[in-house]
Amino acid sequence: MPKIVGIAGSLRKASFNGWLLRAAKELAPAGTEIDVASISGIPLYDADVESGSGIPDAVTALKERIKAADGLLIVTPEYNHSIPGVVKNAIDWLSRPPKDIPSVFGDKPVAIVGATPGAGGTRLSQAAWLPILRTLGTRPWFGKQLYVASAGQAFDAEGKLVDEKVKKLLSDLLAGFTAFVSS
Ligand code: FNR
């Protein structure tokens, strides 16, 4: 049974991207498990902390969950046409020490989606992820794209994905990514 670990790049409780990840868990094809992980609890990267007390527990735990998964689904917000600092910070910690990069990220299938109340659907943020995925040696999947714009209309007040068009796009994307992960 393929297992995909999902990370939403936002800390807020009512995050559109957190809601999109939750919807992905519900819409995953039968037999595919989406493990909803979180970047909360990861401190700001500080090389003095790393050399003094090592890798924080929250980082080690997330590294293990990524290692254990067949694929990684990144659900990214967009800040100032790029990647929010909190999620870049998490990735930077996850890439430490460099000797662990191949076992955590090497050849790992990765798909990216994102949601924003704005009109651009996180296109620029998703593009900004590409050099990161490359340098970590991942195996990005570009079979389908999902840019959720006007996210306030796509979800109801409880955070349930209600836009049928987005649901179909997300289901199709997850089916394609699952096939890629399993190949
Ligand atoms: C934003 N937002 C935003 N949206 C967008 O589509 N393009 C952008 O460049 C930006 N820039 C930006 C900068 C900063 C500092 C903030 C705080 C916000 C809006 C952003 O998409 C919105 O806050 C989302 O709700 C963030 O995602 P979550 O937390 O809902 O998952």
pLDDT at residue 110 is higher than 90: yes
pLDDT in tens, 139-151: 999 999 999 999 9
16 Cα: distance to centroid of ligand 1 (angstroms): 10
122 Cα: distance to centroid of ligand 1 (angstroms): 9
What pLDDT does residue 1 have?
84
What pLDDT does residue 177 have?
98
- Minimal-distance CA residue to ligand 1 atom 18: 79
Average pLDDT over every residue of 91-119: 98
Task: Tell me if 78 CB under 6 Å of ligand 1.
Answer: yes
What pLDDT does residue 140 have?
98
Share of the chain above pLDDT 90, in %: 99
* Residue 100 DSSP one-character state: G
pLDDT at residue 102 is higher than 90: yes
CATH class of 3-182: alpha beta
Using DSSP, state whether 71 is helix, strand or coil: strand
Task: Tell me if 155 CB under 6 Å of ligand 1.
Answer: no
Average pLDDT over every residue of 87-102: 98
* Residue 27 DSSP one-character state: H
Task: Tell me if 32 CB under 6 Å of ligand 1.
Answer: no
Per-residue pLDDT band for 13 (boundaries 50, 70, 90) equals: very high
Supply the pTM of this predicted model. Answer: 0.98
